[in-house]
Amino acid sequence: MAKKIVIVGGGTGGTIVANLLARNLRSQISGGKIVIDMITDKPYHIYQPGLLYVVFDRMQPEDIVRNQRGLVDPLVNVLIDSVLNIDRDNKKITTETGHNFNYDYLVIATGSRTVPELIPGLAEGAHTFYTLDEAKKLRDSLARFEGGKVVISVGVPHKCPVAPLEMTFMLYDYFRQKGILNKTEIYYTYPINRVHALEPVSNWAVQEFERKSIKYETFFNMERVDPDKKVVYSMEDTQVDYDLLIAIPPHKGSQVIETSGIGKDGWVPTDKVNLNNDKYEDVFVVGDTTNIPISKAGSTAHFESEVIAEIITSRISTGFSLRQYNGKVLCFIESGFDAASYIWFDYNTPPKPTAPSKMLHWMKLTYNQLYWSTVKGSL
């Protein structure tokens, strides 16, 4: 009887795990000893960091979208369907169209989604940039914008913790190039008592804010938005008015995680080094889906994917694995249209942002293309 590996989700983490497993187990899959199934609800795959560039017309929508099947090794069976239930005790997955999958190993890669509805008025009053449609809508609004107060307000939790800063710095460069900086105020709010979760990044960003006359307010957690009055109210009893509001909405994990009784708010309880779910040693969790208190970012999913693929491969061949995840994350930070910084850190190493440079910006632009090789498991 063939061993069955099921991957639920076709984002960065799910796709990399699928491709690495196909590469590691090629002969056993070809020989019918192993079957890998991927179930994903979207026939396409978006390079999500590219949305930031779509907003500023620096990448086109078609640059950041690929057909999902084309990214996955042909040895992996891909089913485009929604998963209705994950039954870990009986090792069974049920889909919306009535397919049932049993598994020996399961990889949950169901990702995260924005939930603006948690903050009354946010969906009506704010722009966001977490889907292609939202990014295009913001791009169109920026094209019409001729000055006023732009507020960037950050919700909790959210993925890609550096994206709000990147958005702010790119807005600055956009308004400067458009010649409307002198009649535009940029105002940034952040939930904790600094402008980024990482203190070294915050210290660097504050210097940039002050140099660019970007105003900011900390300890600001959006509670509600009045789209008619154009005001954002905070849990801390302060308020900010705006002409254009760009919000980073709070995020949740996938609904199926909640309906299957696996984790609150769609986040899966995950061992931070072994990457398995609670007592289930055959259920692995990757990317935004985990409840590990680290960045929900593509690079996190990438590094976790490598570990999970190696653990499953070793477990199949030897019955055990020595591999563990050390919390590694690496992020570029665009500091405008022509310079970028970067940070890396892990569970034991704090981040140290490097000075922004054109070289790092070019590396980021190069990575925007190399992503397609990463997700295929080639990098």
x/- string (CB under 8 A) for other proteins, residues 99-138? -------------------x--------------------
Strands 244-248 and 251-253 turn out to be unpaired
Applying CB under 8 A, among 79, 132, 180, 197 the residue interacting with other proteins is 197
φ, ψ of residue 378 in degrees (nearest 5): -90, -15
Show contacts with other proteins in window 235-264 (CB under 8 A).
235-237, 250, 264
The answer to the question of residue 265 lying near other proteins (CB under 8 A) is yes
x/- string (CB under 8 A) for other proteins, residues 157-176? x---x---------------
Which of 104-112, 124-132, 301-309, 343-351 is the region at the interface with other proteins (rule: CB under 8 A)? 343-351
Amino acid at 124: E
SS3 258: helix
Structure tokens at 74: 């042909």
Applying CB under 8 A, among 65, 132, 192, 231 the residue interacting with other proteins is 192
Which of 92-100, 195-203, 313-321, 367-375 is the region at the interface with other proteins (rule: CB under 8 A)? 195-203
The answer to the question of residue 327 lying near other proteins (CB under 8 A) is yes
The answer to the question of residue 32 lying near other proteins (CB under 8 A) is no
Please spell the DSSP secondary structure of 193-247, one letter per residue. Answer: SSSSSSHHHHHHHHHHHHHTT-EEESS--EEEEETTTTEEEETTS-EEE-SEEEE
Q: How far is the CB of 122 from other proteins (least distance, A)?
A: 13
Tokens 């398995």 sit on residue: 276
User: Which residues neighbour 258 within 8 Å (Cβ) at sequence distance 6 or greater?
Assistant: 264, 265, 266
- Which residue intervals of the chain are DSSP H helices? 12-24, 26-30, 50-55, 68-71, 122-125, 132-144, 163-178, 199-211, 255-259, 298-318, 358-375
Amino acid at 1: M
The answer to the question of residue 295 lying near other proteins (CB under 8 A) is yes
Structure tokens at 239: 């308020």
Applying CB under 8 A, among 68, 221, 277, 313 the residue interacting with other proteins is 221
Please, are residues 231 and 222 in contact by the beta-carbon 8 Å criterion?
no
Q: How far is the CB of 201 from other proteins (least distance, A)?
A: 8
Applying CB under 8 A, among 219, 337, 367, 372 the residue interacting with other proteins is 219
Number of residues that bind other proteins (CB under 8 A): 29
CB nearer other proteins, residue 82 or residue 291: 291
CB nearer other proteins, residue 64 or residue 329: 329
The answer to the question of residue 329 lying near other proteins (CB under 8 A) is yes
Question: Whole-angstrom distance between the N-terminal and C-terminal Cα of the chain?
Answer: 33
The answer to the question of residue 156 lying near other proteins (CB under 8 A) is yes
Which of 80-88, 133-141, 143-151, 293-301 is the region at the interface with other proteins (rule: CB under 8 A)? 293-301
Applying CB under 8 A, among 198, 257, 283, 307 the residue interacting with other proteins is 198
Applying CB under 8 A, among 350, 366, 370, 373 the residue interacting with other proteins is 350
Cα→Cα distances 217→161, 194, 213, Å: 17, 8, 13
SS3 38: strand
Please, are residues 289 and 301 in contact by the beta-carbon 8 Å criterion?
no
The answer to the question of residue 352 lying near other proteins (CB under 8 A) is no
Which residues contact other proteins (rule: CB under 8 A)?
Answer: 118, 156-157, 161, 191-193, 197-199, 219, 221, 235-237, 250, 264-265, 272, 293-295, 327, 329, 345, 347-348, 350-351
